[in-house]
A and B are shown apart, each in its own frame.
Chain A
Amino acid sequence: MSNIEERVKKIVAEQLGVKEDIATDASFVDDLGADSLDTVELVMALEEEFECEIPDDEAEKITTVQQAIDYVEKNAQ
């Protein structure tokens, strides 16, 4: 059973087509080359992996790997 950080990084890697060896402070857009539609898809993938619904105004605040991990830890399992 992998922990949340590993699961988040795995999804980021899959969605953005980067290696799983990602820094937790990496920004999706600035460091990982995501465009705005990629970030929307990424949030969709996180919702499915962690079986939660991320409201649009919360989703907009998730711009780095760490922020995604924090959100999931706080709101899902």
Chain B
Amino acid sequence: MTKQVALVTGASRGIGRAIAERLVEDGFFVVGTATSDNGADSISAYLGENGKGLKLDVANPESIAEVVKTVSDEYGAPTVLVNNAGITRDNLLMRMKDDEWDEIINTNLTSVFRMSKAVLRGMMKAKTGRIINISSVVGATGNAGQANYAAAKAGMIGFAKSMAKEVGSRNITINTVAPGFIDTDMTKELGDDIKNSLLASIPLARLGEAREIAHAVSFLASEGAAYITGETIHVNGGMFMP
């Protein structure tokens, strides 16, 4: 039996890498993407024979079309898409430049629309598909200095709910995982005082691990989650309970 193909964006490190590795354990052939050739090569290296790293700029429609075509031609149409790629451009709203706003919306939200649309054709034909968006607790709570990021992350949730209603009849589900404070390069950039005050608000009193996000993604991609769609799973140690 040939393996099902899972496509994970932003897979060179952090949460994306943990997801890619976990989906390999689940038996998928995993295509991970990164913005640079170096990143793509490192993904190919850690995935070995179980996957492949490709260069992809999720903010570029041509790049998306090219990568989805390459994946479909060489490995088969993806039945799982994990929209994980994301960036931050934090700034107080009073100081936030238009390009800081646009860049975040384009890279973190518009990319989800474009990627999901690009893989949908194959999923409709296969009459099965799982799309999993990696949002953020900030999309539900808001965060000072992250109006752009929070807007994009909240937007993913509304997008997922709408798409879930559109394509549910074709056995395609779309769900969201909203990580809290996870120990990655992205959160290492935060200052100690911010980190400490955040920790005080987490009942489990520690940072989450990337792998703990990957477990939730693995579940949503599995047979066990077949009847779950349009849902958001918060994985945040209790720092926010909707």
Contact = CB atoms under 8 A, between A and B. Distances in A.
A40 B121 CA distance: 10
Contacts of B97: none
B166 interface: yes
Contacts of A44: 121, 124-125
B125 A37 contact: no
B169 interface: yes
A54 to B, nearest CB: 13
A76 B200 CA distance: 65
A20 interface: no
B65 to A, nearest CB: 12
Secondary structure class of chain A's binding surface, majority of residues: helix
Nearest to A45: B125
Nearest to A40: B124
Interface residues of B, number: 7
A37 B166 contact: yes
A62 B157 CA distance: 33
A37 B166 CA distance: 8
B239 interface: no
Interface in B146-171: 166-167, 169-170
A37 B170 contact: yes
B167 to A, nearest CB: 7
Nearest to B170: A37
Nearest to B124: A41
A68 to B, nearest CB: 18
Interface string A11-47: 0000000000000000000000000010011001000
A12 B169 CA distance: 18
Contacts of A40: 124
B121 A37 contact: no
Contacts of B124: 40-41, 44
A44 B122 CA distance: 10
Contacts of A41: 124
9 contacts: A37-B166, A37-B167, A37-B169, A37-B170, A40-B124, A41-B124, A44-B121, A44-B124, A44-B125
Interface of A: 37, 40-41, 44
Given A37-B166, A37-B170, A40-B124, 6 more contacts: A37-B167, A37-B169, A41-B124, A44-B121, A44-B124, A44-B125
- Return the 5 tightest CB-CB contacts between A and B, nearest first: A41-B124, A44-B121, A37-B166, A37-B169, A44-B124
